[in-house]
């Protein structure tokens, strides 16, 4: 039985990831065409603001992030995960154990505002992509309404895709679980306007939905119910056997990001535990970020 993480550390970390959830969720609500990578960076930015700090109990917590580069660095291979969460518990400098959980990020697409996915040319051209559009574009002074509903889709997912197969094979080979981190609007349904009046947007305390986490088994079971190649709707990406929670009206759509990290990974109910210092599985280079 591994030594447990102290309770004040868990609660502190819950608050940090709750802030990260708010950042990513409100970014999607403000910019419905935001790329998935931008939402990932909202999470990273919130974590980077913490730095090493000492809690009232005298325990030091250090949250660090490392950017490993985009998909262009991996030779076109299908990615396993966008974010890797690694938790290390030490006493007096000596490592007691490590825990790993991998998150594959996907974002919900609004009904009216299209998302233009990044292509290899965007990475090759680099900053020039910001200045190479010289053609006339439609005026943006007339606000457009957009909405997220149960019928909206996770446009970068598809039933029976190559990525689904690669993730399942990776878990079977390395025994490191992969989870799907689903970026959603603050609530469902949700309506917004773009461009929006300045200093407007959803408040941080009005996010009953937000980023949700499903196990790879739950996500793949939902995808298996769909025809080959079809993208899943919000209403379809749910746990198959989860009972409704009185305190969380969107419980069937997965754990909140902060609940997943604090109550599932840190309490050793989810993720892969490593107590050996030289386990080869720990050093696999699957995560992209």
Where residue 205 falls among pLDDT bands split at 50, 70, 90? low
Percent of the chain with pLDDT over 70: 76
Would you say residue 175 lies in a domain?
yes
Would you say residue 13 lies in a domain?
yes
Q: What is the pLDDT of residues 123-178, one digit of tens each?
A: 566 666 666 666 666 666 677 889 999 999 999 999 999 999 999 999 999 889 99
Would you say residue 124 lies in a domain?
no
Where residue 251 falls among pLDDT bands split at 50, 70, 90? very high
Closest Cα partner for 164 from 83, 66, 232, 253?
232
The pTM assigned to this predicted structure is 0.86
Q: Which two tokens stand for residue 58?
A: 């005298």
Q: Which two tokens stand for residue 72?
A: 């262009």
Q: How far is CA 149 from CA 128, 163, 195, 246, 252, in A?
A: 35, 26, 20, 22, 16
Alpha-carbon dihedral 123, 129, 132, 134, rounded to 10 degrees: 130
Would you say residue 288 lies in a domain?
no
Give the integer Cα–Cα distance in Å for 184 and 29: 9
Q: Which two tokens stand for residue 247?
A: 């305190």
For the chain, the domain total comes to 1
More confident residue, 114 or 75: 114
Q: Look over the chain and give the mean of its residue pLDDT values, rounded to a whole number.
A: 84
Percent of the chain with pLDDT over 90: 51
Q: Quote the pLDDT of residue 73.
A: 47
Would you say residue 1 lies in a domain?
no
Would you say residue 46 lies in a domain?
yes
C-alpha triplet 75, 78, 82: angle, nearest 5°: 100
Q: Quote the pLDDT of residue 276.
A: 67
pLDDT tops 70 at residue 263: yes
Would you say residue 62 lies in a domain?
yes
Would you say residue 14 lies in a domain?
yes
More confident residue, 194 or 153: 153
Q: Quote the pLDDT of residue 65.
A: 86
Question: Could you tell me if 112 and 151 are in contact, meaning their C-beta atoms sit under 8 angstroms apart?
Answer: no
Q: Quote the pLDDT of residue 43.
A: 96
Q: What is the DSSP string of 112-176?
A: SS------HHHHHHGGGGGT---S----SSS-EEEEE-TT-B-TT--TT-HHHHHHHHHHHHH--
Which range marks the domain in which residue 213 is found? 7-113+143-283
Give the integer Cα–Cα distance in Å for 40 and 62: 20
Give the integer Cα–Cα distance in Å for 191 and 205: 17
């Amino acid at each position: 039985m591994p030594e447990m993480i102290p309770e004040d550390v868990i609660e502190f970390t819950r608050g940090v990831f709750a802030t990260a959830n708010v950042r990513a969720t409100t970014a999607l609500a403000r910019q419905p065409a935001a790329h998935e990578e931008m939402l990932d960076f909202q999470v990273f930015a919130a974590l980077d603001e913490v730095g090493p700090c000492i809690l009232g109990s005298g325990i030091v917590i250090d949250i660090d992030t490392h950017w490993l580069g985009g998909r262009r660095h991996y030779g076109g291979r299908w990615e396993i995960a966008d974010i890797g969460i690694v938790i290390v518990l030490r006493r007096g400098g000596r490592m007691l154990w490590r825990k790993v959980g991998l998150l594959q990020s996907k974002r919900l697409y609004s009904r009216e505002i299209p998302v233009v996915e990044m292509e290899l040319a965007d990475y090759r051209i680099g900053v020039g992509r910001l200045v190479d559009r010289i053609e006339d574009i439609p005026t943006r002074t007339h606000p457009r309404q957009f909405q997220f509903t149960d019928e909206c889709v996770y446009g970068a997912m598809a039933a029976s895709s190559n990525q689904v197969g690669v993730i399942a094979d990776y878990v079977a080979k390395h025994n490191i679980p992969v989870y799907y981190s689903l970026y959603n609007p603050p609530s469902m349904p949700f309506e917004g306007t773009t461009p929006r009046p300045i200093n407007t947007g959803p408040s941080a305390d009005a996010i009953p939905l937000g980023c949700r986490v499903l196990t790879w088994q739950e996500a793949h079971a939902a995808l298996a119910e769909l025809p080959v190649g079809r993208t899943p709707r919000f209403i379809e990406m749910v746990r198959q056997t989860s009972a409704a929670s009185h305190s969380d009206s969107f419980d069937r759509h997965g754990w909140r990001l902060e609940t997943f990290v604090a109550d599932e990974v840190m309490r050793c109910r989810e993720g892969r535990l490593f107590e050996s210092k030289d386990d080869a599985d720990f050093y696999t280079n699957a995560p992209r970020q």
